[in-house]
Structure 1
Amino acid sequence: MLKVSKTLKGIALTSAALMSLSSFTLVAPAVLPNVVISASAAKAAKQTAGKKLKNGSYKLAEQGYSHGYRIVMSMKVKNGKIVSNKYDYLSPKGKSKTKDAAYEKAMKKVNGIGPKEYIPKLLKSWKKAGSNVQTIDTVTGATDSSWTIKNYAQQLVQAAQAGNHKTIKIDNTAALKDGTYRLAEQNYAHGYRIVFSIQIANGKLAKSNFDYVNAQGKSKTVDTAYEKAMKKANGVGPKEYIPKLNAELLKSESAKEPTAVVDTVSGATDSSSMFVIYAQQLLDRAQAGHHKTVKVSNIVYAE
Structure 2
Amino acid sequence: MRIKKFVYSASVLALSALMLTACSTTANKNSSKSSSSKPKTTQVQKKQKVGKQIAGAPLKDGTYKLQEDNYFNGYRVKMSMTVKNGKVCKTSYDNVNKAGKSKAKDTKYESQMKKYAKTGPKEYIPELQKAFAENGANSNGVQVVSGATSSTQTMKNYINQLVQASQAGKAGTIHINNNKKMKDGTYKLSEKNYDHGYRQVYTLIVKNGKVSNLKYDQINKDGKSKTKDANYEKQMKKIAKVGPKEYIPKLRSEFMKSKGNTEKVQVVSGATDSSNQFIAYVDQLINAAQKGDTKPITVNNIVYKQ
Structure 2-normalised TM-score?
Answer: 0.84
- Out of 51, 58, 76, the residue aligned to residue 52 of structure 1 is 58
Instruction: Report sequence identity in percent.
Output: 50
Aligned counterpart, 1:291:
294
Alpha-carbon distance in 1 for matches of 2:54, 2:9: 27
Shift of the alpha carbon at 1:137? 2.0
- Out of 35, 42, 45, the residue aligned to residue 9 of structure 2 is 35
CA gap of 1:125–1:115, structure 2 versus 1, over 3 A, is same
Find the residue that maps to 1:40 and give its secondary structure.
coil
Aligned counterpart, 2:155:
149
Shift of the alpha carbon at 1:180? 1.1
Unaligned runs of 5+ in 2: 12-43
Aligned counterpart, 1:136:
142
Aligned counterpart, 1:12:
none
Aligned counterpart, 1:210:
216
Aligned counterpart, 2:103:
97
Find the residue that maps to 2:206 and give its secondary structure.
strand
Alpha-carbon distance in 1 for matches of 2:138, 2:253: 27
Alpha-carbon distance in 1 for matches of 2:54, 2:236: 22
Aligned counterpart, 1:262:
265
Find the residue that maps to 2:227 and give its secondary structure.
helix
Shift of the alpha carbon at 1:108? 2.6
What root-mean-square deviation, in Å, do the aligned CA atoms of Structure 1 and Structure 2 show? 2.0
Aligned counterpart, 2:250:
244
Find the residue that maps to 2:250 and give its secondary structure.
helix
Shift of the alpha carbon at 1:199? 0.9
Aligned counterpart, 1:63:
69
Alpha-carbon distance in 2 for matches of 1:70, 1:42: 28
Aligned counterpart, 2:17:
none
CA gap of 1:84–1:70, structure 2 versus 1, over 3 A, is same
Alpha-carbon distance in 1 for matches of 2:202, 2:88: 27
Aligned counterpart, 1:115:
121
- Paired AA for residue 273 in structure 2: D
Alpha-carbon distance in 1 for matches of 2:160, 2:296: 16
Q: Is the 8 A contact 1:35 1:138 kept in 2?
A: no
More divergent stretch after superposition (99-108 vs 157-166): 99-108
Shift of the alpha carbon at 1:33? 5.3
Q: How many residue pairs get matched?
A: 273
Alpha-carbon distance in 2 for matches of 1:221, 1:200: 26
Aligned counterpart, 2:178:
172
Q: Is the 8 A contact 1:33 1:276 kept in 2?
A: no
Structure 1-normalised TM-score?
Answer: 0.85
> Which residues of 2 match residues 182-197 of structure 1 at below 5 A?
182-197=188-203
